[in-house]
Amino acid sequence: MKRLLLGAAVLATCSSSAMAATIGVSVAYFDDNFLTTMRNAMQAEADAQGHDIQFLDAQGDIGRQLSQTQSLSAQDVDAIIINPVDTAATGKMTEVAVQNGIPLVYVNRQPEGSDLENEDVVFVGSDQKLSGTLQMEALAEMLGGEGNVAIMLGELSSGATHQRTEGVKEVAAEYPGIEIIAEQPADYLRTEAINLMNNWIVGGQQIDAIAANNDEMALGALIAMKQSGISPDDILVGGIDATRDALEAMKRGELAVSVFQDPVGQGGGAVESAIGLINGEDVEKIKMVPFQLVTPDNLDDFLAD
């Protein structure tokens, strides 16, 4: 009887292992704070559901990301998740996954082409334009409806950059007393934002608020301001993502506003969608995770998470 029970246990173990799926993930950057949190959420969700997951760093290189997609397909993974480097250059990656019959989930950055028209290709992310709208509405109120605003742009290859900026501009246009006096890219990077802000400061133009496409650039602007002896009260700085560093800056009275983009909701949601596709379930073609405005008034709600 013991031998029979042992045999049954071994069979159950093998069956359980056979059911474990392997998900391959290509992330635009490993060294991005938001994407790191999103990646950790993917790992946690995969672990919780008993599936294997492997991550690859595209390092901001479109060619590398395509090669990673091809490599994952050759490994015959059960599903692929891609956080695209360039939202306008996803077509070939989609083609690779579709031709190999591998479910594909795009996360955080929505492809700009016809990728989602393919069966078993879905997107999990957020309405990027809304984040810019929420950011600028808050800044406009803090400015009293008047002032010069400069926009720090993310990577120009990212659809989120254009959508967030569009949201900012549409709100600014509603205020006759608000003028967009500058908009230049700092590629979502803190160091690039420091340099850009220093250039604006040296240029001597009056700036009353900075609308940065993400928190890393907002923090870079604040560092440059501090180096030049400019108070956060003199130039309001707004970011997007509500990263831990940004929340701490707001707690110190430096960052005026941010917009919470949920990396756990996006990361965990992408894995859930991938597993659903693997299991042949009906999965939402586009799953939107809500944005939330963060100001000093509700800061404690986000610091507590």
Which tokens go with 255? 């960052």
- Do the domain assignments include residue 301? no
Whether residues 75 and 49 share a domain: the answer is yes
| Residue 293 counted as domain residue | no
Quick one: 113 and 137 in the same domain? no
Quote the pLDDT of residue 16: 37
Say if 297 falls within a structural domain. no
Q: How many structural domains compose the chain?
A: 2
96 and 106 both lie in a single domain:
yes
Q: Do 196 and 212 fall within a single domain?
A: yes
Q: Residue 296 and residue 255: Cα distance in Å, rounded?
A: 9
Q: What is the pLDDT of residues 85-95, one digit of tens each?
A: 999 999 999 99
**Buried residues in 55-94 as b, exposed as e (16+ CB within 10 A):** ebbbebebeebbebbeebbeeebbbbbbbbbbbebbeebb
Residue 303 falls within a domain, yes or no? no
Rounded Cα–Cα distance for residues 95 and 251 (Å): 46
Q: Write out the residue range of the structural domain in which residue 177 sits.
A: 128-260
Least confident piece of the model among 15-24, 40-49, 118-127, 144-153: 15-24
- Identify the band that residue 46 occupies on the pLDDT scale cut at 50, 70 and 90: very high
Residue 232 and residue 132 share a domain: yes
Please check the confidence at residue 114 and state whether its pLDDT lies above 70. yes
Residue 144 lies inside a defined structural domain of this protein:
yes
CATH of the domain at 53: 3.40.50.2300
Residues 195 and 208 in one domain: yes
Sheet of 147-153: strand order equals 178-185, 147-153, 209-212, 236-238
Query: 33 and 88 share a domain?
Result: yes
